[in-house]
Structure 1
Amino acid sequence: MAERVTKEERWARAALTRVIEPGDEHGGRWLRQLGAVELLRRLTSVPYDDSALTGASEQRIQGFRTRAARAEPDRDLAAVDACDGRFVVPGDSEWPSQLDDLGDGRPVGLWVRGRPDLRRWALRSVAVVGARACTPYGAHMAATLASGLSERGWVVVSGAAFGVDGAAHRGALAAGGATVAVLACGVDVAYPRGHAELIGRIAEQGLVVGELAPGAHPTPGRFILRNRVIAALTRGTVVVEAEYRSGSLVTARAAQKLGRFTMGVPGPATSGLSAGVHELLRGGAELVTDAAEVAELVGEIGDLAPSRRGPVLPRDLLDPVSARVLEALPARGRAATRNDIARDAGTSVDVTLARLYELHSIGFVERHGDGWQLTAAAVRRPNARRGGA
């Protein structure tokens, strides 16, 4: 598929990633109305024409102009090329069109490191996000979910942070699967520093993606805005451990707003790190416990999770009449005559006697003179609820 983006358009968008902050809908609206080349021209011209730059204060527009004057797109494009990356913009064959669901808040472009095609990977991707200060349970669940999804051919997307994010990436990598890290900084910046090796492995085996130009550093606000890209890029978002005020819940709510699948992994009711997930589940998110259940939700027809049930016991295989006869025998080792058993089972004496002999052959009942009683094996019922029938 031929690229539809001119060199001037790509150059202007690269410059604008230094000008328009992620998620800025004013800048996004100007970009949509004027195009990247014209918007950059207006922001850098002297004197400048602000007739189309409506909806923002003069002070804010001056901030745009200051950043535009300092932008060096040639340097940024050379920097991403030096780390074997590229700059992907709307109109490229690699541009994930689902990001357009963000409207005027969609990224100006995406800086990308890694060989795979971002658009193709995004078509079959799931976000796995959660608490940075996660518990061992949270880390285990994130890694297990990610490896299971990878084995089913799904791409695991997360934010490369400590805790759940890192566990998800490692789970996918360990399974030899595909994973994408969406950063809140330049794709050539290892943040957090403790994940420098992990981010390097993701760039080699998967993709590292960011809205900000090379060398840009993260801020608290950029982390929150980064989450909308994770939500829009993927088919669904799974939250593994999150407090009430957690950035991962921002991702989940953005996914809900965009009409994506939103899922949560439950934890202990007493855990503050699961409180946010439980609130998400109460609000309509889907409860999931493994990769099969995630794939059933976000996948195609036929991607069904296995049915869940306890072990099948011999008495579960009895036909309905034999089961009624067995239930009619008194418990606690007391014997009953065939007439009493037939009455309580609602069957004839002859049918009852035939079923008693069958039950005797499989070790459920035993005969004592004219009476029949349950064996010890029949009295012990592991699948029965304690304290009731």
Structure 2
Amino acid sequence: MRDIGLAVRELLTAEVRHAAEAWFGGQKSAERLARAAWSVLTEPGDGVAGELIASLGAEDALEAAARATRRPADSVALADATARWRPRWDAGLVEAALRQGVRRDLQFVIPGDAGWCAATDALGAHAPVGLWVRGDAAVLGRGGASVGVVGARAATPYGELVTTDIASELAADGAIIISGAAYGVDGAAHRAALRTSSPTVAFVAGGVDRVYPAGHAEMLQRIAETGAIVAERPPGAAPTKWRFLARNRLIAAASAATVVVEAGVRSGSLNTANHAATLGRPLGAVPGPVTSSTSAGCHRLLREYGAVCITSPDDVRELLGLGVDHPLETRGDPELTRVSDALARRTPRSIAEIARLSGLAEGSVIGALGLLALSGAAVERNGGWEAG
């Protein structure tokens, strides 16, 4: 690393740089180390740090910050920012983060990396300086559809059912399901994706090495094995209320569209929805009973934010701008309708079971299934038939 000043050498000591070289190797090690240091110094979304880095680069921005800690800053904003950063200007904190990254086999991705989530660049000065990743960082840089599915922690059975239906179908189609690993809707979305053996991404408020919430330890391990757990704060950082709110902007930015399944009037999911709307990203909300407090936030999104009403996975596909295959029109043929109604998604049913459920003879069921199969509305699988 080039000489960037005494004050910065106090932060990026020989021990810190040795730890960085051991982890990063020759892969943009100086830039990566500077951004890792910034992730230790700042809270997520620090706009002053973002502007400084965008203007000077991560290394020179550290030098400018170091100078500002030694003498009056050029602006009130920078003076306030250096007051925030000064308590963390500690080489030991940076070294500890790097060594934990090595121990836990984490990755630290920065702009320009193959695994960088370029969609978060839309946050401008409030974009992350880097992302700590447990799992496969390549999932972040993958092209294609990504859907943020968020909602109430205290989800109702209705909310979990709708979440599972939407997330499992979209994941099976190849979409990346993004959420926040919380209880309720978040957990249902991740688990639905995992059941289809599809990668899913969890943006968390603390360090990626922390298991939070504790009840999701097994789920988080499975996410890390096939997808990615992502954070802005370094390993060991505790999740706090502010960091949850800051994390929400990443879910909105990383997602091509955001769907809120259930949300109370004070739900943090409305914060995610607001970020999506501010970024101009498609926003959807699932309606619920007008008497349900857990759907009040969704109804507000539909009424005041212009959110699209989501009642099925096809609605989300349209929100993403994807084509939707419309099944064969069945309303004119009672037998087709009855057989179609007797089919389930992802649960193959035998001819005999379909006949029993539809109230038709098996011969009529076989004929109807043939017509439904032509349009893709029915699929033969594992010795039975299911909805297409």
The answer to whether the superposition gives a TM-score over 0.5 is: yes
Residue type of the alignment partner of 2:324 = L
Residue type of the alignment partner of 2:41 = V
Deviation per residue, 1:71-96 (Å, 9 max, x gap)? 53333223123222200011223212
Q: Return the match for 2:125 from 78, 95, 104.
A: 104
Is the contact between residue 199 and residue 208 of structure 1 (CA under 8 Å) also seen in structure 2? yes
Looking at structure 2, the residues matched to 66 and 18 of structure 1 have their Cα atoms a distance apart, in angstroms, of: 11
Query: Quick check: 1:311 aligned with 2:338?
Result: no
- Equivalent positions of 1:146-185 (< 5 A) are 146-185=167-206
SS at match of 1:120: coil
Deviation per residue, 1:173-230 (Å, 9 max, x gap)? 0111121000001000011111111111100111110101000001101101100000
RMSD (Å) for aligned C-alpha atoms: 2.5
Query: Quick check: 1:286 aligned with 2:308?
Result: yes
Return 5+ residue gaps in structure 1 as ranges. Answer: 315-389
Return 5+ residue gaps in structure 2 as ranges. Answer: 1-24, 335-388
SS at match of 2:50: helix
Query: Quick check: 1:95 aligned with 2:95?
Result: no
- Equivalent positions of 1:203-222 (< 5 A) are 203-222=224-243
SS at match of 2:230: strand
User: Residue 8 and residue 307 in structure 1: after superposition, are their counterparts in 2 closer, same or farther (change >3 A)?
Assistant: same
Looking at structure 1, the residues matched to 157 and 142 of structure 2 have their Cα atoms a distance apart, in angstroms, of: 29
Is the contact between residue 13 and residue 36 of structure 1 (CA under 8 Å) also seen in structure 2? yes
Shift of 1:36: 1.4
Residue type of the alignment partner of 2:263 = A
Which residue of the partner structure matches residue 142 of structure 2?
121
Is the contact between residue 128 and residue 168 of structure 1 (CA under 8 Å) also seen in structure 2? yes
Looking at structure 2, the residues matched to 290 and 120 of structure 1 have their Cα atoms a distance apart, in angstroms, of: 27
User: Residue 182 and residue 245 in structure 1: after superposition, are their counterparts in 2 closer, same or farther (change >3 A)?
Assistant: same
Looking at structure 2, the residues matched to 17 and 47 of structure 1 have their Cα atoms a distance apart, in angstroms, of: 18
Looking at structure 1, the residues matched to 328 and 249 of structure 2 have their Cα atoms a distance apart, in angstroms, of: 34
Which residue of the partner structure matches residue 67 of structure 1?
88
Residue type of the alignment partner of 1:144 = D
Shift of 1:70: 5.1
User: Residue 164 and residue 184 in structure 1: after superposition, are their counterparts in 2 closer, same or farther (change >3 A)?
Assistant: same
Is the contact between residue 15 and residue 71 of structure 1 (CA under 8 Å) also seen in structure 2? no
Query: Quick check: 1:8 aligned with 2:30?
Result: yes
Could you tell which deviates more after superposition, 36-45 or 273-282? 36-45
Is the contact between residue 262 and residue 294 of structure 2 (CA under 8 Å) also seen in structure 1? yes
Deviation per residue, 1:328-364 (Å, 9 max, x gap)? xxxxxxxxxxxxxxxxxxxxxxxxxxxxxxxxxxxxx
Which residue of the partner structure matches residue 53 of structure 2?
31
Looking at structure 2, the residues matched to 234 and 256 of structure 1 have their Cα atoms a distance apart, in angstroms, of: 12
The normalised TM-score by structure 2 is 0.74
Which residue of the partner structure matches residue 20 of structure 2?
none
User: Residue 310 and residue 63 in structure 1: after superposition, are their counterparts in 2 closer, same or farther (change >3 A)?
Assistant: same
Deviation per residue, 1:93-133 (Å, 9 max, x gap)? 32122211101000010001112513433642100000000
Is the contact between residue 114 and residue 138 of structure 2 (CA under 8 Å) also seen in structure 1? no
Query: Quick check: 1:296 aligned with 2:338?
Result: no
Which residue of the partner structure matches residue 258 of structure 2?
237
SS at match of 1:111: strand
Looking at structure 2, the residues matched to 32 and 71 of structure 1 have their Cα atoms a distance apart, in angstroms, of: 26
SS at match of 2:142: helix
Looking at structure 1, the residues matched to 272 and 332 of structure 2 have their Cα atoms a distance apart, in angstroms, of: 41
Query: Quick check: 1:20 aligned with 2:39?
Result: no
Residue type of the alignment partner of 2:170 = L
SS at match of 1:216: coil
User: Residue 65 and residue 277 in structure 1: after superposition, are their counterparts in 2 closer, same or farther (change >3 A)?
Assistant: same
SS at match of 1:117: helix
Looking at structure 1, the residues matched to 312 and 239 of structure 2 have their Cα atoms a distance apart, in angstroms, of: 32
State the percentage of identical aligned residues. 45
Shift of 1:310: 7.2
Looking at structure 1, the residues matched to 125 and 89 of structure 2 have their Cα atoms a distance apart, in angstroms, of: 19
User: Residue 181 and residue 122 in structure 1: after superposition, are their counterparts in 2 closer, same or farther (change >3 A)?
Assistant: farther
Looking at structure 1, the residues matched to 69 and 203 of structure 2 have their Cα atoms a distance apart, in angstroms, of: 38
Name the larger-Rg structure: 1
Is the contact between residue 73 and residue 79 of structure 2 (CA under 8 Å) also seen in structure 1? no
User: Residue 39 and residue 292 in structure 1: after superposition, are their counterparts in 2 closer, same or farther (change >3 A)?
Assistant: same
Which residue of the partner structure matches residue 223 of structure 1?
244
Is the contact between residue 45 and residue 128 of structure 2 (CA under 8 Å) also seen in structure 1? yes
The normalised TM-score by structure 1 is 0.74
Is the contact between residue 43 and residue 68 of structure 1 (CA under 8 Å) also seen in structure 2? no
SS at match of 2:115: coil
- Equivalent positions of 1:345-364 (< 5 A) are none
Is the contact between residue 133 and residue 229 of structure 2 (CA under 8 Å) also seen in structure 1? yes
Looking at structure 1, the residues matched to 279 and 129 of structure 2 have their Cα atoms a distance apart, in angstroms, of: 19
SS at match of 1:121: coil
SS at match of 1:113: strand
Residue type of the alignment partner of 1:288 = I
Residue type of the alignment partner of 1:84 = D
Is the contact between residue 178 and residue 201 of structure 2 (CA under 8 Å) also seen in structure 1? yes
Which residue of the partner structure matches residue 141 of structure 1?
162
Could you tell which deviates more after superposition, 227-236 or 68-77? 68-77
SS at match of 1:186: coil
